[in-house]
Amino acid sequence: MPESSREILLEARGVHSYYGASHILHGVDFRVHAGETVGLMGRNGMGKTTLIRTMMGLVPARQGEVLVRGRPVTQAATHRIAQSGIAYVPEGRGIFPNLSVRENLLMAARPGANGRRDWTFERVMESFPRLSERLSNGGAQLSGGEQQMLTIGRALMTNPTLLILDEATEGLAPLIAKEIWKIVETIGESGIATVIVDRNYGAVMARAHRCVVMVKGKVVFDDLSAHMTGDVVHTHLGL
């Protein structure tokens, strides 16, 4: 289905955001269509996480607006945005260390915004066999890779229409990172729209339909992954 005919799930229009007096985002436009995988790319400190946090209501937008399915949510509370079908896996994971793997997953279980329950506990177990072997373990007892799997699994238990992954493979051993990338592919194939932020630009471009590159709080490239030229990669990503 052509991108133009698919519903826009999440959109930022002319967004400006600040941390204190520091002007971080400078009129950013960004959108994610239903079923689309978008790679959000750029060097460190270019505003990628700030854009995500602004769209999730964690950082206020001073100017511009954020919309979910065409409805303004610029002033909405974060939990309201999440309830509209958007799941956010932040850098740092944020699991509950004193709860077991099972408890971490089941506490998040709910039907999606459209009432669907495609991602059940059983399906998460099938997708994350490592977790199925550690259901009674506390979150703090897991390795970094297992914690990341738990965080993604917990997000899927909310049956989102859009999943945002911020540095999902950061600091993980190559074999574990490879498992995470396979899971990302499975999520995309299931029809969930995905936004991926990751320093492994090659892995992102291989999986994203479209790439958005940010430099100093502005979007400098927004096009199909196939159109990412060597000049764009070298100039803006330093590769």
Closest residue by Cα to residue 28 from 170, 213, 157, 187? 213
CA distance 191 to 181: 16
- Rg of the chain in Å (alpha carbons): 17
CATH (residue range 3-237): 3.40.50.300
pTM of the model: 0.93
Is the confidence at residue 96, as pLDDT, over 70?
Answer: yes
Phi/psi region, residue 64 (left: phi>0; alpha: psi -120 to 50; beta: rest), is left
Is the confidence at residue 2, as pLDDT, over 60?
Answer: no
The token duo for 28 is 């950013």
Average pLDDT on 46-63 reads 96
| pLDDT tens-place string over residues 99-145 | 999 999 999 999 988 888 999 999 999 999 999 999 999 998 999 89
| pLDDT tens-place string over residues 173-218 | 899 899 999 999 999 999 999 999 999 999 999 999 999 999 999 9
Is the confidence at residue 239, as pLDDT, over 70?
Answer: no
Cβ neighbours of residue 129 under 8 Å, at least 6 residues apart?
none
> 3: pLDDT confidence band, cut at 50, 70 and 90?
low
Residue type, 235: T
> What strands, in cross-sheet order, belong to the sheet with 22-33?
22-33, 8-19, 61-68, 71-72
CA distance 236 to 42: 7
For the chain, the farthest-separated pair of C-alpha atoms sits apart, in whole angstroms, at 50
pLDDT of residue 56: 97
pLDDT of residue 219: 97
Is the confidence at residue 20, as pLDDT, over 70?
Answer: yes
